[in-house]
Amino acid sequence: MKPDVKRVIRSTQATAMTAWLWPFLWGTLLAICIVGIPHAQGIFQWIEPDVRQVIYQRTPFYVLLERHVLVVGVAAVVTISLGVGAGIAVTRRKGQDFLPLVSQLASLGQTFPPVAVLALAVPVLGFGTLPIIVALMLYGLLPIVRNTLAGLQDVDKDIKTAARAVGLTPLQVLYQVELPLAAPVILAGIRTSVTINIATAALGATVGASNLGDPIIAGIINNNMAYVIQGALVIALLALTVDSVFDALQTRLRLRLSSS
Amino acid sequence: MIELSHVSKYFGTEMAVDAINLKVEKGQFCALVGTSGCGKSTTLRMINRLIEKSDGEITLDGQAIEAYDPVKLRRRIGYVIQSTGLFPHWTVARNIGLVPRLLKWPAKDIQARVEELMGLLGLPVAEFAHKYPHQLSGGQAQRVGVARALAADPDILLMDEPFGALDPITRVKLQDELAGLQARLHKTVVFVTHDMDEALKLANHLVVMRDGHIVQQGTPLSLLQHPKDPFVESLLGGLERGLKQAALTRVKDHMSSMGPTLPSQFRIPADFSLRQALSMMLRDHTDRLAVVDQQDVPIGELSLRKIVKEAQLEKGSMREA
């Protein structure tokens, strides 16, 4: 093996390793905050000197985090299945008539502000977790549908023709050629969708879905800036952790695809 | 054997191929030639049902292609296109082994076959097996494309301008290698190209197409000697036709035994083409060449005057016939 080839391989391994450094760092910071906020009385007292209770204590932060992740997770699983599924369906020959409809519906979903969706959903679905999941789904669908469509449509036509011509079944063309080649673009869409929804999910606190939005809403109502900062800090760190995990996944995918 | 009878293809109301008849015998190398949009690629793609014909009948070994499942049919037919169509996320070895894997060959057989084909196409296994398509030059990528098409040892090979995107030197090299492969493997090949020299060099059945029709078909020599109309004539090179015809004949078919005169100082191997001999005469200002065998020993003589006389005689006898 030539020395420059060796160097390339070593630097590739290095990028693959450093890619996981950020998720680790942000994750550690998140954990420190969850454990440390209840003990940081001094800092938050300095922010709100006139308030007696500066640490949000109604529900422990790790419980709020768990609920938050669950809501975003459920919404993400549904949006990904729906979005990627719809993207695949309308790029098949049988479904191509629905392509304009699906891409317009997905765009429409994002033009509705989540707050409006919540206001409309509560009378129908009642208070609690369900309306916020519906709002997140509608809001997060567009980036996934759009990127799935872009990724699949970007696959070289000649490669698809060749795949068919050598005798791959339509399903094999999808799984062995189209999806692997579109994967980086689809993953970028999922990343955008999930990261936005981690922030948006906080709105759930206004309709009785308890999550990391609780301290923020409680802080606004009681005019307690310390609560707001605690909620916002944990949500921001959660978003950064998840975003950096996606970034690492994308780096890995890119390395595998170009593998140079 | 591939047989097309009265095959047509309409895209909407536009006619791409109009009731063509074509028969490609087993082991024959058939080239479809014509200007862009003449329906030659469409014709090719109807054979492996990438495009479904609108009318007529296509048979493989006497059986209508509709009788085969399209996926199984395509696995039996090798297919090579200009842009190679290699899967960019797969290594060279995996790309070549694609069809055997689809046919569920044992892993050991697939590996052996991939290595055999890489050897056949001049791609050293150690150097290329683990490379990805984007790491290859155009010529190397097309070798992989040909290897993939040959992987499951199909009887039929469809090639759609396979060398169209290569530089002239690589193109000629790959043409020579394809000719060598065909001489050993005797596949039934249908080859689409707009490069007449390529068609004349490789094919033993030449089909000229225009506007979805077959204008003329036959052996390359017969088309060169009797082009049916000005279109075929211009496609075959117009005034250069004589040279193209000369390119199809060997020096040894025109040489005479050594005369009483001293052999010419200019030498040409017996298996060179007559075209190369004529070019040498022009370059070296001579009308005689000494013909030599592989050991560079003179075995005969080639004289310009005799070649011209032969051609006149041939023309005369044809006129009588």
**Do B165 and B279 belong to one domain?**
no
Q: What is the DSSP string of chain A?
A: --HHHHHHHHHHHHHHHHTTHHHHHHHHHHHHHHHHGGG-HHHHHHHSTT-S--S--SS-HHHHHHHHHHHHHHHHHHHHHHHHHHHHHHHSTTTGGGHHHHHHHHHHHHHS-HHHHHHHHHHHH-SSHHHHHHHHHHHHHHHHHHHHHHHHHHS-HHHHHHHHHTT--HHHIIIIIIHHHHHHHHHHHHHHHHHHHHHHGGGGGGGT--STHHHHHHHHHTT-HHHHHHHHHHHHHHHHHHHHHHHHHHHHHHHHHH--
pLDDT tens column, B38-53: 999 999 999 999 999 9
Disruptive mutation site among B49, B98, B150 for chain A (greatest number of A CBs within 10 Å) = B98
Range A3-258 has CATH code 3.30.300.180: no
A81 with A148: CB under 8 angstroms? no
Is ipTM > 0.85 here? no
Percentage with pLDDT > 90 across chain A: 47
**Do B176 and B260 belong to one domain?**
no
Contact B74/A258, CB-based, under 8 Å?
A: no
**Do B153 and B219 belong to one domain?**
yes
Q: Give the CATH number for residue B235.
A: 3.40.50.300
What pLDDT shows up at residue B206?
Answer: 93
**Do B37 and B128 belong to one domain?**
yes
pLDDT tens column, B122-157: 999 999 999 999 999 999 999 999 999 999 999 999
Which A positions 127-186 lie with beta carbon below 8 A of chain B?
A: 156, 158-159, 161-169, 172, 176-177, 180-181
β-bridge pairing B188-193 and B156-160: parallel
List the single residue in A with minimal CA-CA distance to B74: A167
Of B244, B275, B307, which closes a domain? B244
Contact A168/B71, CB-based, under 8 Å?
A: yes
Q: Give the CATH number for residue B305.
A: 3.90.1280.20
List the single residue in A with minimal CA-CA distance to B152: A166
Percentage with pLDDT > 70 across chain B: 97
What pLDDT shows up at residue A50?
Answer: 81
Distance in Å, alpha carbon of B90 to nearest chain A alpha carbon: 8
Number of domains in chain B: 2
**Do B202 and B282 belong to one domain?**
no
What pLDDT shows up at residue B319?
Answer: 55
Of B211, B244, B277, which closes a domain? B244
Residue B94 CB coordination number (10 Å): 18
Nearest Cα residue to B37 out of B57, B66, B22, B16: B16
What pLDDT shows up at residue B321?
Answer: 47
Of B225, B244, B263, which closes a domain? B244
pLDDT bucket at B172, cuts 50 / 70 / 90: very high
**Do B290 and B165 belong to one domain?**
no
Does the pLDDT at position B259 exceed 50? Answer: yes
Contacts of A258 in chain B (CB under 8 A): 132, 134
pLDDT tens column, B70-111: 999 999 999 999 999 999 999 999 999 999 999 999 999 999
pLDDT along chain A (260 residues), means of 10: 49 66 92 88 82 84 92 94 94 88 80 80 83 87 91 93 93 94 93 92 86 91 90 94 92 68
What pLDDT shows up at residue A260?
Answer: 37
Out of A158, A165, A181, the one facing B74 most closely (by C-beta) is: A165
Average pLDDT, chain B: 89
B288 DSSP assignment:
E
Out of A161, A168, A257, the one facing B50 most closely (by C-beta) is: A161
Is pTM, for the whole model, over 0.90?
no
- Structural domain harbouring B165: 2-244
What pLDDT shows up at residue B96?
Answer: 96
Q: Over A12-47, what HEC string results?
A: HHHHHHHCCHHHHHHHHHHHHHHHHHHHCHHHHHHH
Out of A159, A162, A167, the one facing B71 most closely (by C-beta) is: A167
**Do B285 and B219 belong to one domain?**
no
The amino acid that residue A163 corresponds to is A
What pLDDT shows up at residue B315?
Answer: 65
What is the side-by-side order of every strand in the sheet holding B29-33? B77-81, B156-160, B188-193, B29-33, B205-210, B213-218
Distance in Å, alpha carbon of B108 to nearest chain A alpha carbon: 21
Does the pLDDT at position B317 exceed 80? Answer: no
What pLDDT shows up at residue A2?
Answer: 46
Gap between the Cα atoms of B70 and A81, Å rounded: 31
Out of A156, A165, A169, the one facing B48 most closely (by C-beta) is: A165
Contact B81/A158, CB-based, under 8 Å?
A: yes
